[in-house]
Amino acid sequence: MKVKYHNDIPNNFGRCDIVIGIPSFNNANTIGYVAQTAAKGVRNLGLTGLIANSDGGSVDKTTETFLQSDTFGIPKISIKYKGIPGKGSAVRALFEIAHKAKAKVFIMLDSDLRSVEPWWIERLAKPILEGRTDYVTPFYLRHKYDGTITNNICYPLTSVLYGLKVRQPIGGDFAIGAKLIEIYLSKPEQVWQTNVARFGIDIWMTTTAINELDKPPVQASLGAKVHDVKDPGKHLQGMFIQVVQTLFDMMIEYQGIWRHVATVVPTEVYGEQPDQPVEEIVVDLNGLKQRAKTTLQQRLDNEISVREEIIKSVLESGIVNAQDWVEVVYDLALKYREKRDEEVVLNLLPFYFARVADFVERTKDMDSFEAEKLITEQLEIFQKQKGNFVKRWFLDT
């Protein structure tokens, strides 16, 4: 495969077994811990490693903190990536570093992690080192209100489209083999001019891996993930748009594959999940309902392409049930296929707020284990409605 580097990659490191990549932007409070912990994990495996930071122009001494961290003799480098500002551009530079180092495994860790442990490195790397896969996704213990974009669209839609239950397709902490790194870096330049350069990177990586590798992904049990959590009604709008538009773009790219997928099978999980508490997350339920109503009201001048009864219900209540949510997602995916316009994804946003509000209301007295059953039931609704969706999608092809 033809690989051309986009970033200026230094030559002051040699070949190594593992590259740990940490994309960052203003993460001075946590990046030192992440780098040090990752280095311990590499050292525990007895392999050669490199800790690499790709920064987006932090102004809080993120780079200085990273370079001053004790990595126990394992070399480290920090670069400022080129390209559109965003996580994906940072990750692209890290791919290039891993490729130049001829690493067997590239591991990506979020820079805001407070729960990463040295054993995470073994969990993420071993399935690749043993030749079982080229892509390892994280499998976390999470609070019922963490990962709302994952729970309500990325997990169920990716699972039913491509036939594999990948619980955290946008989890942030991944391991990637050398073959897949080359696949990523051989993609056309225009890919990196889209939301793949931003928060769309994770769903792009996962979807590409599922569809272009001979061996399916493996999930690594990593226990509780403690990071900078966000209220879905206040902080996740930009991420939602970038992730969902990328997901819809990938649906178009791989439509020839998923149209023939009729079943969903589990994905292998490596390692026992530790018994750990999860960090409590508080959601402003009333604020979320109001955000759903207000955002939808603001979108009414657009062609929303959603059944009128559902629109009216959300405007009145600020919630949408699982059945109607799945219908809305499929309807707007079809509309996106027709228009390829971000405005379609913006039309989905108020229904996302309403879906999360309904979930919060229904699960307020449940623990995370009980709430997970509702997430599974929602996936099953996506699966039941997929047949009709496939017929509509391919009606004109």
What pLDDT shows up at residue 353? 96
Q: What is the mean pLDDT of residues 134-157?
A: 96
Whether the predicted pLDDT of 147 surpasses 70 = yes
Which of 208-212, 231-235, 299-303, 377-381 has the least mean pLDDT?
231-235
Of 187, 213, 217, 223, the residue nearest 95 (C-alpha): 187
Q: Is 316 helix (H, G, I), strand (E, B) or coil?
A: helix
pLDDT band at residue 230 under the 50/70/90 scheme: low
- For 18-270, the fitting CATH number among 3.30.1330.60, 3.90.550.10, 3.10.20.30, 3.40.50.300 is 3.90.550.10
What pLDDT shows up at residue 62? 97
End-to-end CA distance of the chain: 31
What pLDDT shows up at residue 236? 74
pLDDT band at residue 229 under the 50/70/90 scheme: low
* Single pTM value for the model: 0.96
Percentage above 90 pLDDT, the chain? 89
Say if CB 310 and CB 387 are below 8 A apart: no
pLDDT band at residue 396 under the 50/70/90 scheme: low
171 is written with which tokens?
């989890």
Q: What is the mean pLDDT of residues 309-331?
A: 98
pLDDT band at residue 267 under the 50/70/90 scheme: very high
The packing angle between helices 285-299 and 342-363, to 10°, is 150
Q: What is the mean pLDDT of residues 70-87?
A: 96
Q: What is the mean pLDDT of residues 130-143?
A: 96
Neighbouring CB atoms inside 10 A of 140's CB total 27
What pLDDT shows up at residue 13? 82
What pLDDT shows up at residue 325? 98
Whether the predicted pLDDT of 57 surpasses 90 = yes
Q: What is the mean pLDDT of residues 323-329?
A: 98
Q: What is the mean pLDDT of residues 175-190?
A: 97
pLDDT digit string, tens, across residues 11-28: 888 899 999 999 999 999
The packing angle between helices 342-363 and 322-339, to 10°, is 170
Indicate the domain borders of the chain: 18-270, 285-392
The pLDDT mean for the chain works out to: 95
pLDDT digit string, tens, across residues 269-285: 999 999 998 888 889 99
